[in-house]
């Protein structure tokens, strides 16, 4: 105890061991009974409240999301002193997402202090920030901004002290170019000096969109079409097309468009309208065009082109809407001409020679660019639609190296089908034997069948047989049509048994008609009549019945033919073998002769014989 005198010990003699007085030791840990009594008197812990646990979990997740968003936006900086105190294993340094271009460049952690709410819950806490937040500065309108003055100021500030590049000035200059719709200039500035990776990736994607109309490279805006930020607008413009039925945040896109500067709005609005027209979202495309019509004083050529496309809808284009755009001789004139031509031809229409002349002129003007390929394709199809096949084939031969395989197949099909259906006999024969090998190689099965049918009409079964035999395999319906043509080829070559072999397994009226023709060629008239009747060919069935002498089958035929069949079925008059016939027999023969002549006269009157016969 405090203040107690120390225990007395006897002084030991020199060399004698030291002796201490005995001390009483406790029998158990001091205070154990008190501790047990205190623990037993504690109240039981309250039962956890599920609502409180849910609210706590939501609070934890919101805090983690806020921390991640702040880290993503650069509002948090690492503490170098605390980082130095961690070991290499504790730091868990990784370079997988070092470029920062991933749309979710966050951290996944599994803290042991957090337990899932249920046994099968996920205890992974995602610290990723907001993937819909833009890293680049927003492209919004700034009041009283003089573009030329600001451009001069920023260009003068690109080089700082000691001729060093000012990264901030380059960044601001690229931002200025983007806000006024200059994509190529912004790309050049961004490529000059190294920029923050996240911002540079988004700004470069916007620059490519402004330059090409879409982003031909993988874009950081991919998958952000449903965001409620400016990212939704650029996510709609980054791909070449938006699949119909895709979800998108319409309010966010409109809000971003309305906040843009006028120059940028005039560029992006027509692109948005075209993109959503292709996605079958015509109402939203109209809303986009109404925004720029309300906010901008002048209507740009691209706005007018988008409005003309929207006015056409799913029908053929109205020439009155496109004529001023085509005649303006501006940058959008070739695009307007192409759209008008392609849509007119797609709706089975024709374009006049004036439009074809403009296609030829623009094709010559843009001969070194990719637009020349589209112009040449449209011109070939337009010439074919006007049945000017010699000019169409000549142009195709001169420009075929420009086309890829799909375009060649498309044009070959169009030319082959048009040639087979509408060309005159002389033009068809001349062009087929000049272009036949290529058409046989690249034409579709339907086009090949059309060519073979035209060759049969011209009396060239051997050529048709060669075309059909060498053609590649086709789908089931085209293959059935090909077998019917091969059967007709065999009939024209007087090979009825081969024709029946080609028809083996086919069940249709056309197949029955060809089978009947094959039986007719084999002089099996009764079977031919039955097959013609099954195929619905009444006239052919009657002809087969005449050849088969089936007079009963002719009873329901045309009145004149039925009368003649009845005359033929009459019992002939018995005439004596020796001596002259009796007067009654002679009179009966004369009556039958008159009736036969009358029936033949009526039958011949049904035939239309031309008054003049070509020599």
Distances from the Cα of 177 to the Cα of 153, 189, 203, angstroms: 13, 9, 10
User: What domain range is 257 assigned to?
Assistant: 132-298+305-310
Helices then strands, each counted (H, E), the chain: 29, 2
Q: What is the mean pLDDT of the chain?
A: 78
Mean pLDDT of the region 33-42: 64
Judge whether 69 lies within some domain. no
d(CA 307, CA 270): 9
Burial class of residue 270 (count of CB atoms within 10 Å of its CB; 0-12, 13-18, 19+): buried
Q: Is the pLDDT of residue 117 over 60?
A: no
Q: Which of 582, 549, 581 is nearest to 568 (CA)?
A: 549
Q: Which residues contact 582 (CB under 8 A, 6 or more apart)?
A: 576
Beta bridge partners of 107: 127
pLDDT of residue 565: 56
Between residues 592 and 419, which one has the greater pLDDT?
419
Q: Is the pLDDT of residue 32 over 70?
A: no
Q: Is the pLDDT of residue 121 over 60?
A: no
| DSSP code for 109 | E
Judge whether 283 lies within some domain. yes
Q: pLDDT of 316-345, one tens digit each?
A: 888 888 999 998 888 889 999 999 999 999
Decide: 468 and 445 in contact? Cβ < 8 Å.
no
Q: Which of 472, 412, 480 is nearest to 447 (CA)?
A: 412
Q: Which residue is it, tokens 């600001």?
A: 150
What does residue 131 show for φ and ψ, rounded to 5 degrees?
Answer: -70, -15
pLDDT of residue 589: 59
pLDDT of residue 385: 92
Burial class of residue 56 (count of CB atoms within 10 Å of its CB; 0-12, 13-18, 19+): middle
Q: pLDDT of 526-547, one tens digit each?
A: 788 788 877 777 777 777 766 6
Judge whether 255 lies within some domain. yes
Q: pLDDT of 444-473, one tens digit each?
A: 888 889 999 999 999 999 999 998 888 877
Q: At 95, is the pLDDT very low, low, confident or very high (cuts 50, 70, 90)?
A: very low
Q: At 124, is the pLDDT very low, low, confident or very high (cuts 50, 70, 90)?
A: very low
Between residues 13 and 519, which one has the greater pLDDT?
519
Q: Is the pLDDT of residue 89 over 80?
A: no
d(CA 467, CA 444): 12
pLDDT of residue 114: 44
Three-class SS state of 127: strand
d(CA 418, CA 434): 16
Q: pLDDT of 216-264, one tens digit each?
A: 999 999 988 999 889 999 999 999 999 998 889 999 999 999 999 888 9
Q: Is the pLDDT of residue 97 over 50?
A: no
Percentage of the chain lying above the pLDDT 90 cut: 26
Structural domain tally of the chain? 1
Judge whether 275 lies within some domain. yes
Judge whether 67 lies within some domain. no
Judge whether 274 lies within some domain. yes
Between residues 306 and 605, which one has the greater pLDDT?
306
Q: pLDDT of 308-318, one tens digit each?
A: 888 887 788 88
Q: Is the pLDDT of residue 118 over 70?
A: no
Between residues 129 and 141, which one has the greater pLDDT?
141
| DSSP code for 157 | T
Q: Is the pLDDT of residue 104 over 90?
A: no
Cβ-count burial 321-341 (b if 16+ within 10 Å, e if not)? bbeebbeeeeebbbbbbbbbb
Judge whether 6 lies within some domain. no
Q: pLDDT of 559-598, one tens digit each?
A: 555 555 555 555 555 555 655 665 666 665 556 665 566 6
Judge whether 290 lies within some domain. yes
pLDDT of residue 579: 56
- Give the number of residues written for the chain: 615
Joined together, the tokens standing for residue 305 give 């082109």
Q: Which residues contact 276 (CB under 8 A, 6 or more apart)?
A: 236, 242, 282, 284, 285, 288
């Amino acid at each position: 105890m405090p203040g107690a005198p120390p225990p007395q010990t006897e002084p030991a003699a020199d060399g004698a061991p030291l002796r201490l007085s005995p001390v009483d030791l406790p029998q158990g840990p001091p205070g154990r009974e008190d501790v047990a009594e205190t623990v037993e008197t504690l109240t039981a812990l309250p039962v956890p409240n599920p609502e409180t646990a849910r609210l706590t979990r939501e609070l934890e997740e919101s805090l983690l999301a806020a921390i991640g968003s702040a880290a993503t936006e650069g509002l948090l900086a690492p503490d170098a002193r605390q980082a130095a105190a961690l070991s290499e294993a504790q730091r868990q340094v990784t370079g997988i997402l070092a470029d920062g271009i991933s749309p979710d460049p966050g951290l996944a952690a599994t803290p042991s202090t957090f337990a899932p709410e249920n046994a099968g819950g996920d205890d992974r806490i995602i610290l990723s920030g907001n993937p819909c937040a833009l890293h680049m500065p927003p492209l919004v309108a700034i009041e009283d901004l003089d573009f030329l003055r600001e451009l001069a100021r920023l260009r003068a500030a690109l080089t700082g002290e000691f001729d060093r590049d000012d990264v901030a000035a380059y960044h601001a200059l690229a931002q200025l170019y983007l806000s006024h719709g200059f994509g190529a200039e912004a790309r050049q500035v961004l490529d000059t000096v190294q920029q923050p990776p996240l911002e540079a990736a988004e700004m470069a994607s916007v620059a490519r969109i402004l330059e090409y109309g879409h982003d031909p490279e993988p874009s950081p805006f991919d998958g952000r079409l449903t965001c409620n930020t400016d990212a939704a607008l650029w996510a709609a413009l980054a791909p070449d097309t938006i699949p119909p039925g895709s979800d998108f945040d319409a309010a966010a896109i409109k809000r971003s468009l309305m906040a843009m500067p006028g120059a940028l709005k005039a560029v992006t609005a027509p692109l948005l309208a075209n993109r959503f027209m292709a996605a079958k979202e015509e109402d939203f495309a109209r809303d986009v065009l109404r925004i720029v019509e309300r906010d901008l004083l002048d209507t740009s050529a691209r706005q007018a082109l988008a409005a003309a496309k929207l006015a056409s809808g799913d029908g053929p284009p109205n020439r009155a809407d496109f004529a001023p755009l085509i005649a303006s001789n501006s940058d959008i004139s070739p695009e307007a001409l192409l759209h008008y031509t392609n849509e007119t031809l797609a709706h089975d229409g024709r374009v006049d020679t004036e439009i074809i002349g403009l296609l030829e002129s623009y094709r010559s003007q843009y001969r070194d660019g990719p637009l020349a390929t589209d112009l040449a394709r449209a011109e070939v199809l337009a010439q074919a639609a006007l049945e000017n096949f010699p000019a169409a084939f000549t142009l195709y031969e001169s420009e075929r190296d420009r086309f890829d395989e799909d375009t060649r197949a498309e044009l070959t099909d169009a030319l082959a089908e048009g040639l087979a259906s509408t060309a005159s006999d002389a033009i068809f024969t001349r062009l087929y034997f000049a272009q036949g090998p290529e058409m046989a190689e690249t034409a579709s099965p339907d086009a090949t069948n059309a060519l073979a049918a035209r060759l049969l009409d011209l009396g060239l079964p051997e050529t048709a047989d060669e075309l059909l035999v060498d053609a590649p395999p086709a789908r089931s319906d085209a293959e059935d049509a090909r077998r019917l043509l091969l059967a007709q080829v065999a009939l024209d070559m007087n090979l009825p048994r081969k024709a029946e072999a080609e028809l083996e397994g086919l069940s249709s009226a056309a197949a029955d008609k060809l089978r009947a023709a094959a039986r007719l060629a084999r002089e099996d008239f009764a079977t031919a009549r039955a097959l013609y009747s099954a195929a619905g060919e009444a006239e052919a069935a009657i002809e087969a019945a005449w050849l088969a002498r089936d007079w009963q089958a002719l009873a329901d035929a045309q009145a004149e033919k039925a009368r003649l069949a009845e005359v033929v079925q009459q019992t002939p008059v018995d005439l004596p073998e020796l001596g002259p016939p009796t007067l009654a027999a002679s009179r009966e023969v004369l009556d039958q002769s008159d009736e036969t002549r009358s029936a033949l006269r009526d039958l011949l009157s049904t035939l239309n014989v031309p008054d003049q016969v070509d020599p």
